[in-house]
Each structure stands twice: as C-alpha cells, then as structure tokens.
Copies of this chain bind each other. A is one copy, B any other.
Amino acid sequence: MDTPVSPTVACIGGGQLGRMLGLAALPLGIRMEFVDPVVGAPAGEIGPLHIGELDERGVIRPLLERATVVTYEWEGVPADIVSWIEEQRRPPVYPPAAALRASQDRLYEKTLFRQLDVGTPDFLPVDSFADLEDAVAVLGAPAVLKTRRGGYDGKGQHVLRVPADAPVAWAALGGVPLILEAFVPFDRELSVLAVRGRDGSTECWPVVENHHSEGMLRRSNAPAPGLTPELQAAAVAIATRMLDELLYVGVLAIELFDVGGRLLANEMAPRVHNSGHWTIEGAVTSQFENHVRAILGWPLGSTETRGVSTMLNCIGVMPAPADILAVPGAHLHDYGKTPRHARKLGHVTVVADDADTLHDRVDRVLAVLPADG
C-alpha cells in the first residue's frame, strides 16, 4: 500500500474554469494554485492566486518546484510558455503545447481536422485583400471572415452575406492573418467533450446541443435532443482521433455543426469547456474532476449521464439565488465575478429524470433569469 502524498496542480489562468477545477480537485485531496493577471480572479477563492501575466516565467518558475503537474484553463494562454514548461521536463504539463498551438490558429486547427479525415467547412487563408477576393470567388457567399488567432465569443469575425461585402469585411479585420470559411447551412450547433488519460484511455460525454447568440454560448442541452447512437459514435470517432493524434491528456472540447446528421468540426478548445458545465450534476463524473484525474494519471471516471440536463449561462447579471433555487432540480453556480455587460458570471444547470419535466423546470428558470442589461 503506497501512502498517498497530496498532489499540487498548478493552473495557468484563474477564471471560472480554474475555480470549478479547484472545486472538483479539493475533495480529491489535491491542492491547486493559480496564475492570473487579475487580482480577485474567480479561482482565488479556492486556492492561492499568484498575480502575473500568463507567461510570466518569474511567477511560474517557483510553481514548477512544487507542482505535481501543470495545466491551463484558457486557450489564450501563450503556447510558448507551455512549450517552455514541456522543455523543463518536469513537472509535466497537460494538455500538450501542440494541442494549444493548433487551437490558437484557425488555419492550423482546420488543417489538422482535415488531416485526420474530420470534416470541416471549406476554408482558405487570407493575408491580403487580393487573397480575400480570390477566396470569395472560390468559396462563394455567404462566408465568414475570421482572424486566425485571438478570436473568441464571436469577436474577430465578420460575415460576408454577398461577395460585395468583401471590402467592408477587409476594412474591419484586415492587417492580421485571416481565414475565410464557407458558410455551412447547419441544422444546429453541437459539441463533444472527451478526456484522455496519461495511459491513453479515453472517455466521451454524450454530445451536447448548444445555443449561441451574439457569439456567446447561452444554453446547452445534454444529451443533445434526438441524439442517435450513430451521431454519438461519429462524434466519439472525431474526438478519439484528435486525442490520439495529439497524444492529448485532459479534457478536449470540439464544437461541431450538425448538417443533416453529418458532423463538421468548427473548432476545438484544449480545456474544460462551457458546454460541459452540466456534467457537474448531470454526469457521474464532471469534466472538471475527469480533467484533474487525467492529468494526474488517475483512472478516468464514468461519463454516463444522470438524467437529462440543460445548462443556462448567466450573462451580465446574476439572478437572485432564491429565485433559482425555488425551481426543483436547478443548481446555481456563481463565479464570484463583478457584473459587467456580456460577461459570463455564472450558470444554472437544471436536471430532471425526463425531457418533459426538464422542459417545465427550464421554463421556470428562464422566467426568473434576468436579461443582460
């Protein structure tokens, strides 16, 4: 019998994802420490928060001394710092820098998907207005011009409804590396979350249906309504191919388009993901717990559902807790952030045994969920 030593996980980034990782880690006897430039970042309530830039070696180096493993909670973490930690050889850092790099550049990301026979919308790189005109000629319109790097929550994107929109789109985004993506008339947006352990074992949660507006996730339904075994298998195949190719360790999220039952990959996030928050109450093992299990080399937990769930983001303003908690099966998650327009402040997961009950409960929550001001 080996006497366990309390592991320490160093996490680059101290937002709500770090906070929820910490809440999952603490009962397992794991200490978490966080690096974030923001004093008062959400994870600071669950573990020591070291203030510094996300790639500030002077702040990160002492953490490497005491960390069992390093991880990160945002795909905006500079990939170079993750590569640098990998070069130190210990402690290990997961997910691997290669996955982070791929996720940070839409061109690399989509090229990787294609290399692994994962379908994506058609795309072309755009580095000049001439490139854009050529790309529009090939891909047609509507199409979406996106920055290759740095876009999130709908930022750094411009829709070309017709080819003549090209100059306006170029004026809005030109000057940095871009990509033009053919607009796919998808039926709905899905995501698949998967986790891979250090021993190469993998688990996938059921595919989730996501509803965005103004570029931000508003709602996830888990499992995706009407999810067939075939669709789940197709998503698992995509996720497993990505995980194995990248020798990935931890949770990976892949956003998908459902186009008449065919799945196209949109983008990936090498981290726990907003569309997986429902797993805290709605699955046997949450994405947060499985991420820490994976990076520590511990056995993965079951990703089976417990009933059916809907996750609703609280954006810009939090509801009154008592209003939410009056609804049966509703679970409130407040990230402890200062309210601000278009900011994700928390979420509510509603769980029920069946879809009809879930629907009723979600309606009750929606009735008391305030609109962003």
Contact = CB atoms under 8 A, between A and B. Distances in A.
A302 B325 contact: no
Contacts of A320: 1-2, 4
B293 A325 contact: yes
A95 interface: no
- Copies of this polypeptide in the complex: 2
Nearest to A32: B45
A45 B29 contact: no
A325 B346 contact: no
Name the residue among A27, A332, A334 with the largest chain B CB count within 10 angstroms. Answer: A27
Contacts of A29: 318, 321, 332, 334, 336, 346
A115 interface: no
Interface of A: 1-4, 6, 23, 26-29, 31, 45-47, 284, 293, 296-299, 301-302, 306, 317-322, 325-326, 328-329, 331-334, 336, 346, 351, 370
Given A298-B322, A301-B328, 13 more contacts: A4-B320, A23-B23, A27-B333, A27-B334, A28-B321, A28-B332, A29-B318, A29-B346, A45-B47, A293-B325, A298-B325, A302-B329, A306-B306
30 contacts: A1-B320, A1-B370, A2-B320, A6-B334, A6-B336, A23-B23, A23-B26, A23-B27, A26-B45, A26-B336, A27-B331, A27-B332, A28-B332, A28-B334, A29-B318, A29-B321, A29-B332, A29-B334, A29-B336, A29-B346, A46-B46, A284-B328, A284-B351, A293-B325, A298-B322, A299-B322, A299-B325, A299-B326, A301-B328, A306-B306
